[in-house]
Amino acid sequence: MDGAPIRPGGAVCPDAGGAGDREGPRDECGVFGLYAPGHEVSRLSYFALYALQHRGQESAGIAAADRGGHIITRRELGLVNQVFSENDLRTLAGELAIAHVRYSTTGSNAWENSQPVQRSQGTGGSLREIALGHNGNLINAVELHAELVEQGVTFSSTSDSEIAAALIAAHPADQLEDAIAEVLPKLKGAFSIVVMGRDRVVAFRDPQGLRPLSIGALDPVRPGEPVRYCVASESCAFDIIGAHHLREVEPGEIVTLDERGLTSRQVPTAARRAFCVFEYIYFARPDSRMNGQVLQVARAKMGEILWREKPVDADLVIAVPDSGNAAARGLARAAGIPQDDGFVKNRYVARTFIQPGQELRKHGLRLKFNPLPEVIAGKRLIVVDDSIVRGNTTRQIVTMLREAGAAEVHLRITAPPIKHPCHYGIDMSTREEMIAHGREVEQIAAELGCDSLYYLSLEGVYEAVGGGRETHCDACFSGDYPLIGTQDAGGKFALEQTLPLVRA
């Protein structure tokens, strides 16, 4: 992935690209929720967040409660292992919990915008107390915010997630899932949301299913106890806590996890499915399963198809680690060309890394990727990466490979050219900043300084992931936005432009 870093906080991010600037698209957020009396819910949430860390490294939070008790939330800026102590997990002991890791797609990286968001409405017997975690982006956030402010609702953050929380908390329906069913049609955009009340966890997904959300089952700790259920952005969160992946939450589905087990209802919708195809290409972890695909396998297939679509005479296949690894293996297998590590990657370059300064700036990328001349020198290389956004990192990679003695550099990318911004929860560069905007592939290759460049076709992507355009979003490649009214309404700071940040 061209971008530096692609995901903030590269200390634990396997795919982060550069050395501290903010070039590429960034992941959105990761959510988790479970109802599990008899289990250590805060500890399970902590480890689930650990597995989801690649989806957001700006902040982390867990909200927990005993059935019928008050909700306690701990949230803070930082990585999961920086935010929670053993003592925090003891304080968060309970029977149900939700959890969240965040990258700011709406609102700035401030503590106020960390999640879960907690809201209360009413008093005594009519008190509704909820905590909410959101992955996605509400494209009508500014309108909803204005409407609610007009009604006298106050906010303590500038994130769109608090808008959803305010609407749900204020709804008069007795049952939390009834309130959500009424509120869901008001929300426009991409959302996979977990909400906890005092006795249940409810999870729901936007009617187009833009962002992922899956259901898992936890085996009982002791014989005779019931199976408990959990939900997570990606199935890799289930693996780490010993849960089994059951299925995905359907677009427009509301699932309730409570003492009855797992119940579900479907909100009627005419919207077509539009799952983000970029999740398969890059965002999700390779060991996650989505729509029946293990992503490691789908990415290897992308590499095979890349070779079929554009073979080239070469001596060696290398990946831009780690996001290009699976596709490089697939391409090398299909081509019958040896594959090796052309770079050693430093995994400990964090977002807060001290900047290299003028003297070291030209070596900046070497903080992350150090090429191996002994492997590369004199070879005609096929270099596999998942995508190119602005091109700055890719240009530096090509330069480093040439300096290390590469005879030829042939770039192969497992995504089509990115030409359009995302309005559904992925923070990308502006259209003008994208290297593919207004340029032909040959011009891009010349700008990057490589001998040849080929992007996987959209048909090739769909062949690898086993789906079609009719059920996916590929707007950042094609410009075909599946939701109407998606003009960028002020970008991620739209609410801050509307209302200055109010400290809680």
Binding site for ligand SF4 (CB under 6 A): 210, 276-278, 422, 424, 426, 473-476
Least Cβ distance, residue 211 to ligand SF4 (angstroms): 8
For residue 174, give every residue at least 6 positions away whose Cβ sits within 8 Å of its Cβ, in sequence order, or none. none
For residue 418, give every residue at least 6 positions away whose Cβ sits within 8 Å of its Cβ, in sequence order, or none. 25, 387, 388, 389, 428, 434, 436, 476, 477
Which of residues 264 and 291 has its CB atom nearest to ligand SF4 in the complex? 291
How far out from the chain centre does Cα 37 lie? 29
Active-site residue, from 13, 29, 236, 276: 29
Q: Do 80 and 50 meet the contact criterion of CB atoms below 8 Å apart?
A: yes
List the strands of the sheet with 59-65, edge to edge: 72-77, 59-65, 96-102, 29-35, 228-232, 214-218, 243-248
Which of residues 16 and 190 has its CB atom nearest to ligand SF4 in the complex? 190
d(CA 205, CA 406): 47
Least Cβ distance, residue 16 to ligand SF4 (angstroms): 18
Alpha helices in 151-291 (DSSP H): 160-170, 176-183, 236-241, 278
Least Cβ distance, residue 338 to ligand SF4 (angstroms): 33
Three-class SS of residue 294? strand
Our CA angle for 458, 459, 461, nearest 5°, is: 60
Three-class SS of residue 36? coil
Least Cβ distance, residue 473 to ligand SF4 (angstroms): 3
Judge whether 29 counts as a catalytic residue. yes
Which of residues 101 and 276 has its CB atom nearest to ligand SF4 in the complex? 276
Tokens representing 138 are 């509400």
Least Cβ distance, residue 472 to ligand SF4 (angstroms): 7
Least Cβ distance, residue 327 to ligand SF4 (angstroms): 18
d(CA 480, CA 475): 5
Least Cβ distance, residue 492 to ligand SF4 (angstroms): 13
Instruction: Specify the DSSP element, H or E, that contains 305.
Output: helix 295-309
Which of residues 409 and 473 has its CB atom nearest to ligand SF4 in the complex? 473
d(CA 46, CA 28): 19
Which of residues 248 and 258 has its CB atom nearest to ligand SF4 in the complex? 248
Residue in the block written with tokens 């400290």: 503
d(CA 435, CA 321): 21
Which of residues 89 and 475 has its CB atom nearest to ligand SF4 in the complex? 475
Least Cβ distance, residue 411 to ligand SF4 (angstroms): 21
Query: Amino acid identity, residue 429?
Result: S
Which of residues 20 and 416 has its CB atom nearest to ligand SF4 in the complex? 416
Which of residues 79 and 473 has its CB atom nearest to ligand SF4 in the complex? 473
Query: Amino acid identity, residue 269?
Result: T
The burial class, CB within 10 Å (0-12 / 13-18 / 19+), for 68 is: exposed
Least Cβ distance, residue 210 to ligand SF4 (angstroms): 5
Query: Amino acid identity, residue 85?
Result: S
Our CA angle for 123, 128, 130, nearest 5°, is: 135
Which of residues 192 and 394 has its CB atom nearest to ligand SF4 in the complex? 192
Three-class SS of residue 132? strand
d(CA 237, CA 284): 11
Which of residues 202 and 274 has its CB atom nearest to ligand SF4 in the complex? 274
Largest CA distance in the chain: 76
Residue in the block written with tokens 């300096």: 403
* DSSP annotation string for 351-419: TTPPP-HHHHGGGGGGGTEEE-HHHHTT-EEEEEES--SSSHHHHHHHHHHHHTT-SEEEEEESSPPP-
Least Cβ distance, residue 285 to ligand SF4 (angstroms): 16
Tokens representing 61 are 């939070």
d(CA 169, CA 130): 7
Active site residues: 29
